[in-house]
Structure 1
Amino acid sequence: MYATLALMLVTTLAFSQGIVKGIAWDGDMKEAMVGANAVVKGTTNGVTSNYDGSFQLSVPAGSSTIEISFIGYTTVDKQITVKDGETVDLGRIVLKSDAVGLQEIQLVADVAVARKTPVAVSTVSALQIQENLGSQEFPEVMKTTPGVYSTKKGGGLGDSRINIRGFSQENIAVMINGIPVNDMENGRVYWSNWAGLSDATRSVQIQRGLGASKLAINSVGGTMNILTQPSESKPGGFIEASSTEYGMFRGKVGVSTGLLKSGTAVTAIFGTTQGTGYIEQTWAEAYSYFLTVSQKLGEKHSLLFTLSGAPQRHGTRPYGKYNMFTYKQYENDVDRQYNANWGYLNGEKINESENFYHKPQLGLNWFWDINDDTKLSTVAYASFGSGGGSGTLGKRPSNSNPATGERQGWDDLYATNVASTTGSHGILRNSMNNHQWFGLLSTLTHSFNDNVNLTAGLDGRHYKGEHYREVRDLLGGQYYDDTKSSGNANAKVGDKIAYHYDAYVSYIGAFAQVEYSTDDFSTFATGTVSNTTYNRTDYMNYVLDDAGNIVDRHGNETKERVAADADAVNNLGYTFKIGANYNINENFNVFANTGYYSRAPFIQAVYLNYKNDLNTDMKNETVIGAELGAGYHYEKFAVKAN
């Protein structure tokens, strides 16, 4: 009898339950949240959301609380009452970021919205970055994203490169909180300057193709849109540390005040990477800092100040020498860690190639809610870079030999320089690349009604780059004779040699976008127009002739060099993009976009021969792009094609 009663009780309890379902929705990114947690509060009974944000959870009959949460977002509690066998649909549960100012930053950053913005897009969350980073460089985490190829190149800290749809970084726009960071002279991105970026990143959105940005930027192959951590709304902190088996240590510490009663919130993150690299003599000594201070000023205004930087030094390997054939050859004959760039001098290791740089960047965002329909966002920013890379000049040390294991021999060169009466035959030099960059970006958005929105703004930037070589180490000699280049026959450590010039690039642009959207359909048209002004001052290629005219130094090498300004050049550029997205149903969408891009050339194409020689045949680069795409999401399955 007792057994029968027990069996009846168990059976009754097993069937006294219902089902709760819903969709976890990112209120900031305006898309479904994959991996959000839905748990019966106070229990371990829970599930995670699928690709389409949906979840389904069995719960006991009666009243309970469902807790929906995701790292970096505020938790939502839903009180429910479920009858035996009943299904309760919570619908779309919107989770908001727990960071102060994130929504305003997304406005500036042109974040694409899934199933609305008609571009091919993938988003990498902070959780994915931390789970996959390990000993990898920041760009390498993106290589699982469709259309993205990333490589360590030579293998030194921050020497990674990323390609999107086969386009190199010169044709990829990299944005941090909506601010373009591609070098204004050549369009490249040097990841060693952003060594601590992974510690402070909230999400990365890869937009393939011309992208959703309204700015006139290098988005031919795609746009890498990086959003950093704004100030946290809750107080807290963390300490993390990791190391590799080959001796590279990483550590970071962070602290947040949370949103104080004064309306202030402060978040600070500090990190370091130190030790020996996987590749021979690619040691690293790097630090990083990231600070955000947000301040609410009443109901309509708020400020956000950011400061970031990553001072670093690291040994490198010349990746230009390592194609697939030589890499495989070294792997078979020696080992993949082989580096031909180092040897011994007086019994101590020396790597001829070292990179050292520090590029602090600061920005001040002002957000103004003019009214319910109109908002203005303005950011002023500046960066100051200093540093460069080392190498040899003149006679080189004896070469390494991977077949025998021999390393560079610096002692013979050192002895030659010591004995020389005509100065050092070969030296170590630094190629210095300092810059100052100032910018202002202002964006106005206005909603005419629930369906039509206008975005317009101004984008201004001014850049000065200072480039020269200097003597790093005379390697035993008394001086270095650089008469032919700089006119200095007695160059000492720290003296400028070989070349010295300043490059100036100024940019002013205006942009506008009109967007129409309903629940199932959205379309946009974007246009930009810009003017780029170039100038150059050369300090080593020109001298004064006997009549007092500035002339080329060739044939006049012994004369004193004078500063010579090039003729300023102005160049117009413009873009036009249109696109549309249609949601056929809740699972299936299609989109299309096309655009025309007339890009002003980089400054290397304006002035030729490393002088002030003007390129009279200079023309804009033109790009025409078109794309069709489709997406399908259903619970635990998702596929995209374009």
Structure 2
Amino acid sequence: MKNLFFKKNQRSKAEKTKKIFFLISCSFLLVSALSSAQQAQKDTTKVNQLDEVLVSALRVTTKTPVSFSNMSKEELAARNLGQDIPVLMNYLPSVVTTSDAGNGLGYTGIRVRGSDATRVNVTINGIPYNDSESHGTYWVNMPDFASSVQSLQLQRGVGTSTNGAGAFGASLNMLTDSYSQKSTGEISNSFGTFNTHKHTVKFSTGLMNDHFEIAGRLSALKSDGYIDRASSDLKSYFLQGTYVGKTTLIKALTFGGTEKTYQSWNGIDADKLADDRTYNSAGEFIDEFGKTRYYDNETDNYQQDHYQLHWNEKVSDNWSTNLAFHYTKGTGYYENYKYNEPVEGYGAIEPTKMVENSDGDLVPGTDLIRQKWLDNDFYGTTFSVNYKADKLDVILGGGWNKYEGDHFGKVIWSRYASKSELGDHYYDDFATKSDGNVFAKANYQLLENLSIYGDLQYRNVRYKANAAETGLVDDNFNFFNPKAGFTFNVNEKNALYFSYATANREPNRTDYEGGTGVRPEKLNDYELGWRLKSKTIQINSNVYYMKYKDQLVLTGELDDVGSPIRKNSGDSYRLGLEVDAVIKFGQKWSISPNFTLSSNKNVDFVSDATGSLVDLGNTNIAYSPDFIAGNILTFAPITALRISWLSKFVSEQYLNNIDDKSGKLKDYFVNDLNASYEIKMNSVFKSIGINVLANNIFNVDYVSNGVDYGGGYVYYFPQARANFLAGLTLKF
């Protein structure tokens, strides 16, 4: 115990030292930059904004042979009434979203081309956001973040080189709010079904002394959820200080959130789906009188705080640079009531009865309440240098990041007193992960109508863990990820492109928990596309072939904390056609349809689901529908009013990789109605905005997610029937 305490104490001191060093470094950089900028620059001409310097290292344009979609602040705002960013992205091509609570708040998820969220690389201002160990993206930790997003871009497939984990389905980069020239304020409130409400306050000082701006946001969201007890109590903040010079833009940002979410990740079986689709088994137990009860604090509790410092410099007409430092602190736990739980592994707890374990044996057990904690730190730097001339656009960039995660558990109650002390840990695990990469990418205008693209990335990953679930892990990965392609402009309206990209990706923590012999996965991605753009019509079409080696595919199962279980599948592929368009009919009508037609296969798949190896041949990859379609029909009778009809169809999909039809989700077709109206004012308020969102207007019973544990044990996550949200925004 003394040795353990000494290690923890040393770790605590090291963490404090890192934080102090990070803050001092950031402060020194900020002071030095402001001092030099004030001496060298008196002109406040806006030369470069963050999205022109920083995002140029990560985002693409139609000159790049990559399939992508953009969403602006205005597009997000029309439906931003409390639902998470994945739900707001639901109508982009190849996207499928889901929500544990059923109504788009709390735990939400996104899949792109059938790839789950652990394969979607997410960055915020170029800083990696995916959890380093799980690779997942937990939007519940950033409630109402859409209110602070200036724009976002979703690149499908491997995309271009970026910071953080490798993109195996897509990469999503978000740019936070730009600065404002004039002072502004905003109060936004929304209310809806399931006792859902959101309250947001935003402000900006505008540029003070033509150089400095301070802006911020506070948000509070609550919802009971569609599923029983799937409540969310969410709070978030965003604060930034900006310095603007003739050739300099410096931003210091801090943002974060706290969440308390009642767990709803168990799903329901087919009988409950038919008779009681809002049933939630989380927290259920039988008391000493034989009565079924529900523990009132079966919750997930987490706080995450982010700090970023960006320095963007326009060195000359051809050269620009970006340097960033970041630090993220996360801490929290989830709490469970465990009924008839075997006491083995929980420390000095006195057993009160005999219970049955997972093997069917009678072992000492009790009822208890446990907390599983995660206390982590993530810090590092990113950088890029951009050279842009008439025919050549070159970007050199990279980053280095380190993650330190402390995992431990507490038993806060057992039915009878135990020999443990208050605050004792029944397990202590610690993991570290360092991730460094450098990349160089260039676009060269070889001919007047032909440009070529090249992209080289080297990435090193070192992961060390020591846990009962993972065992001893000390893996070092070196990945080389080349990309190349070309864009050919047929004429002013039509362009063709082709690209090839390689991506390599390390296993995540859950993969190591699943057993020994887990291997990194590799993807070769081929993209062939056609773009048409005129005044009234815009069409993007793309054929993709994604060939995997040792792909870690979802088995359909979840572990005891709701994380998907994956296994290496050998050879597999995704072959598909994506088409999206924007068609305008005069000044008042427009339509934005998209669809994806795909085949997603494991090649010569061998399964051990029956206890022996069986060669099943080619099988469908789990969670990969063959057809996805979306559409937005918009009517704008006057400038201030927009009415949109939104439709989404997702075909049936397997929850397993063995083509077992008992584990299959039915197709679904849902429709939403969205209306926004803005009243311009010349008095106290600049404008008054009214937004209404009616979800699933035809009251369809549908399921967007599920798990298959094998042997007929299939559980579903039903989504809400007809529901609505309405909001009022005052701008001044």
TM-score by length of 1: 0.68
Verify: 1:119 aligned to 2:94, yes or no: no
Q: 1:222–1:625: structure 2 CA closer, same or farther, 3 Å change rule?
A: same
- Deviation by residue 1:126-149 (Cα, 9 ceiling, x = unmatched): 222222244533211111111111
- Residue of structure 2 equivalent to 1:438: 379
Q: CA deviation at 1:446?
A: 1.5
What residue in structure 2 maps to residue 21 of structure 1? none
- Once the two structures are TM-superposed, the CA of residue 608 in structure 1 deviates from its matched residue by 7.6
C-alpha distance in 1, partners of 2:409/2:68?
42
Tell me, in whole angstroms, the C-alpha distance in 1 between the residues paired with 2:47 and 2:190: 27
Find the counterpart in structure 2 of residue 387 from structure 1. Answer: 332
- Between 1 and 2, higher relative CO (CA 8 Å, sep ≥ 6) is seen in 2
Per-residue CA deviations over 1:162-211 (Å, capped at 9, x if unaligned) read: 00000011211111111111111121111111112112112221111111
Partner of 1:374: 319
Contact 2:301 2:332 in 1 (8 A): yes
Q: What secondary structure does 1:231 align onto?
A: coil
Partner of 1:358: 303
User: Hey, what does 2:530 align to over in structure 1?
Assistant: 630
Letter in 2 for 1:103: E
The 2-side partners of 1:254 and 1:99 are apart by 24
Give the alignment partner of residue 453 of structure 1, picking from 376, 384, 393: 393
Instruction: Indicate yes or no: 2:417 matched with 1:478.
Output: yes
Partner of 1:501: 429
State the distance in 2 between where 1:310 and 1:212 align. Answer: 30
- 2:4 counterpart of 1:104: no
Residues 472-526 of structure 1: CA deviation (Å, up to 9, x unaligned): 333x5323xxxxxxxxxx23553211x3210111122211112113764332100
1:461-472 counterparts in 2 under 5 A?
461-472=401-412
Note if contact 1:454-1:513 (Cα within 8 Å) is conserved in structure 2.
yes
Show the counterpart of 1:571: 477
Q: How many angstroms apart in 2 are the aligned matches of 1:502 and 1:98?
A: 46
The answer (yes or no) to whether the contact 2:167–2:503 under 8 Å persists in 1 is no
The question of whether the paired residues in 2 share the 8 Å contact of 1:433 and 1:468 is answered with: yes
Using the TM superposition, give the Cα deviation of residue 600 of structure 1 relative to its aligned residue in structure 2, in angstroms: 3.3
Change (3 A) 1:507 1:245: closer
CA distance in 1, matches of 2:252, 2:198: 26
Matched residue type, 2:412: R
> Which whole-Å CA distance do the structure 1 matches of 2:455 and 2:237 have between them?
36
Distance 2:459 2:385 in 1: 18
* Residues 23-422 of structure 1: pairs in structure 2 closer than 5 A: 101-108=50-57, 110-113=58-61, 115-155=62-102, 157-215=105-163, 217-261=165-209, 263-296=211-244, 298-319=245-266, 321-322=267-268, 326=269, 329-334=271-276, 336-342=277-283, 350-351=295-296, 353-393=298-338, 395=340
Does the 8 A contact of 1:355 with 1:388 survive in 2? yes
Match of 1:582 in 2: 488
1:592 has 2:592 as partner:
no
| Counterpart-to-counterpart distance in 1, 2:92 and 2:403 | 32
- Give 2:403's aligned amino acid: Y
Change (3 A) 1:393 1:526: same
Distance 2:364 2:164 in 1: 50
How many residues are treated as equivalent by the alignment?
475
Q: CA deviation at 1:218?
A: 2.3
Q: For residues 264 and 521 of structure 1, what CA distance do their matches in structure 2 show?
A: 43
AA aligned opposite 1:379: A
C-alpha change, 1:395 and 1:380, in structure 2 (3 Å) is same
- Greater Cα shift, 598-607 or 156-165: 598-607
Pair 389,302 (structure 1): closer, same or farther in 2 beyond 3 Å = same
Structure 2 CA distance for aligned equivalents of residues 353 and 204 of structure 1: 34
SS in 2 for 1:385: strand
Equivalent position SS for 2:75 = helix
Corresponding residue number in structure 1 for 2:545: none
The worse-fitting range, judged by mean Cα deviation, of 250-259 and 388-397 is 388-397
Q: CA 1:155–1:368 in structure 2 vs 1: closer, same or farther (change >3 Å)?
A: same
Q: Is the 8 A contact 2:72 2:151 kept in 1?
A: yes
Counterpart of 1:239, as a letter, is: I
Change (3 A) 1:300 1:100: closer
Gaps of 5+ in 2: 1-44, 343-351, 354-362, 543-732
Counterparts of 1:541 and 1:236 in 2: how far apart (Å)? 51
- CA separation of 1:429 and 1:216: change in aligned 2, threshold 3 A: closer
Q: For residues 247 and 372 of structure 1, do their structure 2 counterparts lie closer, same or farther at Cα, with a shift above 3 Å needed?
A: same
Cα pair 1:317 1:339 within 8 Å, conserved: yes
| Distance in 2 (alpha carbons) for counterparts of 1:541 and 1:187 | 17
Q: Assess, with a 3 A threshold, how the Cα gap between structure 1 residues 355 and 97 changes in structure 2: closer, same or farther.
A: farther
SS at match of 1:143: coil
> Contact 2:48–2:248 (CA<8 Å) still a contact in 1?
no
Per-residue displacement from partner, 1:339-390 (whole Å, max 9, x unpaired)?
2224587999634631111111110011122222111101110101101222
Shift of 1:330: 3.0
Structure exhibiting the larger radius of gyration computed from Cα positions: 1
Task: Name the SS of the counterpart of 1:246 in structure 2.
Answer: coil
State the match for 1:71 in structure 2. none
Q: CA offset at residue 595 of structure 1?
A: 1.1
Q: Is the 8 A contact 2:440 2:455 kept in 1?
A: yes
Counterpart CA distance in 1 for 2:226 and 2:122 is: 27
CA contact (8 A) 2:111 2:117 kept: yes
TM superposition shift of 1:636: 3.3
Deviation of the 1:265 alpha carbon: 0.9
State whether residues 64 and 443 of structure 2, in contact with CA within 8 Å, keep that contact through their aligned partners in structure 1: no
- Equivalent pair of 1:230/1:292 in contact (CA under 8 Å): no
Separation in 2, partners of 1:212, 1:522: 16
SS state of the match for residue 54, structure 2?
helix
Contact 2:495 2:532 in 1 (8 A): yes
Aligned residues of 2:82 and 2:197 also touching (Cα < 8 A): no
Whichever residue aligns with residue 411 of structure 2, its letter is: V
Distance in 2 (alpha carbons) for counterparts of 1:604 and 1:347: 32
Deviates more, 1:583-592 or 1:569-578: 583-592
- State the secondary structure of the residue aligned to 2:136: coil
Aligned with 2:56: secondary structure?
A: helix
* SS of 1:132 mapped into structure 2: coil
**In structure 2, distance between residues paired with 1:339 and 1:541:** 27
Distance in 2 between the 1:360 and 1:428 partners? 28
* 1:101 alignment partner AA: L
Relative distance call for 1:97 and 1:358 in structure 2 (3 A) is farther
**3-state SS of paired residue (1:381):** strand
Question: In 2, Cα distance between the equivalents of 1:178 and 1:519?
Answer: 32
Inter-partner Cα distance in structure 2 for 1:337 and 1:97: 53
